[in-house]
Amino acid sequence: MKLNLLKTYTTADAILLPLFENKLKDAIDQLPATLQKQIAHLVDHKVTGKRGDIEVFHTATGKTNVSIYFIGLGEKAKLDSEQQKLMGAKTAQAIKKYKYDKVAIFPINKKENIKIMHFFALGFLLGSYKFDTYINDKKKKQHIYKEIQVISPDSKLTNTEFDELNTITQAIYYTRDLVNTPPNELTPTQLGKEALAIGKLSRQIKVTIFDDKLLKKHKMGLILGVGAGSHEESRLIFMEYKNKPTNKKPLLIVGKGVTFDAGGLNIKPTNNIEDMKSDMAGAASVLGLMQILAKLKPNLHVVGVISSAENLLGDKAMKPGDILTAYNGETVEITNTDAEGRLVLADALAYSTKKYNPEIIVDIATLTGACIAAIGFQITGVVSNNDKLYNKLETASKNCADLIWHLPLTQHFQDKVASDIADYKNWTAGVNAGASMGAAFLEKFINNHNWAHLDIAGSSWTPENTPTSHQGATGVPVHMLWELIKQY
């Protein structure tokens, strides 16, 4: 799929023409004169521009037919970026069955803020994705546009902005692919290979991988404990990006990469286990972010870390009652083998805060079902010990139109992590706010750095089709991570 930014329209099979309510003339004015003539008398009275109202008209210029879609955006004042993105995505759903080769997205009117088109195009691209790698039947494969043009006459959308949009979309697609890939293929070892492949994209990225042998050497008892029940090796992966940085201390981004979470001996029941290949969505978003860095080359120092293991129930699996020793020497009583995400992250956090002394840490994890119970599938739950960092995340969230919600971390939760017979326990019976409890455990391993924890158990995955995402991986929070680190 080619995405092109053009000053003038030449040809396409379909034109997407977004418009505000009662602003039909503005929209028609954007069309080339020949098309205006053919269409003006048709569309009067039929096109309202009301939000969600999509009307199509077919015209012919010379030998070629073109379908023109008038896409109602509603009242301008009520159109936030989330709605802009949603309308782009709804358009993708409305036209996909026609399998056009070339689609052209037109501007709304002469002076409109180009951000609108930006989010509209983003939504359209996100809505056009489906994971079909493993489908043989060509008829069932997702239609791929040969070319998507974005028409921007007055170069309001610059090439740089456009490249960025393109790169972000590719990264979201890549992250979705990784999360959707079945767990028999996407193992911790394979995540290591993906990291090496991303490393090859740029000389500014250095990749280091700890395999089981090195994990043992570094005494990372928690990652090893989680991986012990599987014949697949575990991996701790470091991707260090450094390009004439303007920040003195690196930004540390740590992703949970449990490539399948069966729950361990606290095995997950039917209806809870089916989608657990997605338990590496945090790791996939780190890879997506590194791909963006490799392509856009900002002047930053960013370290991406992936902590990866498979949580199964082999005869070497950790057991409830086991006490494991973390990299930093602290001991953890295993009270529930299904609370494994915080274990793999704890070793990764303890090691990388010490090694890199970061300015900020952001960890990203499909950590708790409790986060879904609390805020659903559309929103990322955020726990943070630093208001400045949280505010930056809020800005990032606005800039990508993905949602976040602040969750609490109080002394109560911090106290509940204590164990009677070890330094900590990984699960505490009877505490209801599971998302906060997960964060309270992680906090013990961040060595007092500025930190935000992103619980993406809900937001990284959608159980049903939505306009912006086919059922499965959503690619969240790749875009937000990029919008966050851009602020440094």
Kindly list the residues in this chain that would bind Mn ion in the complex (CB under 5 A): 261, 338, 340
Q: Using CB under 6 A, which of 114, 198, 454, 457 touches ligand BES?
A: 457
Q: Using CB under 5 A, which of 261, 333, 402, 455 touches Zn ion?
A: 261
- Site mask, ligand BES, residues 277-306, x = CB under 6 A? --x---------------------------
CB of 441 to Mn ion, least distance (A): 13
CB of 276 to Mn ion, least distance (A): 8
CB of 195 to Mn ion, least distance (A): 23
Pick the stretch among 201-209, 313-321, 335-343, 382-390 that binds ligand BES (CB under 6 A). Answer: 335-343
Q: Which of residues 246-275 bind ligand BES (CB under 6 A)?
A: 261
- The DSSP output letter for 107 is P
**Alpha-carbon distance 71 to 87, whole Å?**
8
Residue 434 binds which of Mn ion, Zn ion, ligand BES, none (CB < 5-8 A, kind-dependent): ligand BES
Exposure string for 71-95, b = 16+ CB within 10 A, e = fewer: bbbbeeeebebbbbbbbbbbbbbbb
Say which residue the tokens 């080359």 belong to: 297
CB of 369 to ligand BES, least distance (A): 3
**Alpha-carbon distance 146 to 467, whole Å?**
21
Cβ proximity to Zn ion: between 258 and 284 the closer is 258
Q: Does 363 bind ligand BES (CB under 6 A)?
A: no
Q: Does 366 bind ligand BES (CB under 6 A)?
A: yes
Q: Does 20 bind ligand BES (CB under 6 A)?
A: no
Q: Which residue out of 76, 219, 268, 319 is catalytically annotated?
A: 268
How many chain residues interact with Zn ion (CB under 5 A)?
Answer: 4
Q: Using CB under 5 A, which of 255, 341, 438, 475 touches Zn ion?
A: 341
Q: Which of 36, 120, 50 is nearest to 83 (CA)?
A: 120
Cβ proximity to Mn ion: between 207 and 312 the closer is 312
Cβ proximity to Mn ion: between 212 and 338 the closer is 338
Cβ proximity to Mn ion: between 26 and 340 the closer is 340
Q: Does 378 bind ligand BES (CB under 6 A)?
A: no
Cα–Cα distances (Å) from 438 to 59, 83, 258, 361, 394, in that order, read 58, 32, 15, 16, 22
Q: Which of 69, 18, 27, 22 is nearest to 48 (CA)?
A: 22
Q: Which of residues 55-74 bind ligand BES (CB under 6 A)?
A: none
Cα–Cα distances (Å) from 129 to 354, 388, 409, 488, in that order, read 40, 35, 37, 31
Two tokens, residue 378: 């559309």
Q: Does 434 bind ligand BES (CB under 6 A)?
A: yes
Rg (CA), the chain: 24
Q: What is the dihedral of CA 382, 289, 368, 394, to 10 degrees?
A: 10
Q: Does 339 bind ligand BES (CB under 6 A)?
A: yes
Q: Which residue out of 51, 342, 392, 425 is catalytically annotated?
A: 342
Backbone angles phi, psi at 424, to 5 degrees: -140, 165
Q: Are 437 and 365 a contacting pair, CB within 8 Å?
A: no
Q: Which of residues 101-130 bind ligand BES (CB under 6 A)?
A: none
Bond before 477 cis per omega within 30 degrees: yes
Say which residue the tokens 């569309």 belong to: 43
Q: Are 292 and 187 a contacting pair, CB within 8 Å?
A: no
Q: Does 255 bind Zn ion (CB under 5 A)?
A: no
CB of 337 to ligand BES, least distance (A): 8
Q: Are 251 and 301 a contacting pair, CB within 8 Å?
A: yes
CB of 369 to Mn ion, least distance (A): 9
Q: Does 279 bind Zn ion (CB under 5 A)?
A: yes
CB of 361 to ligand BES, least distance (A): 20
**Alpha-carbon distance 101 to 117, whole Å?**
21
176 catalytic residue (yes or no)? no
Give the amino acid at 468.
Answer: T
**Alpha-carbon distance 207 to 227, whole Å?**
22
Active site residues: 268, 342
Q: Contact positions toward ligand BES, by CB under 6 A?
A: 261, 279, 336, 338-341, 366-370, 427, 434, 457
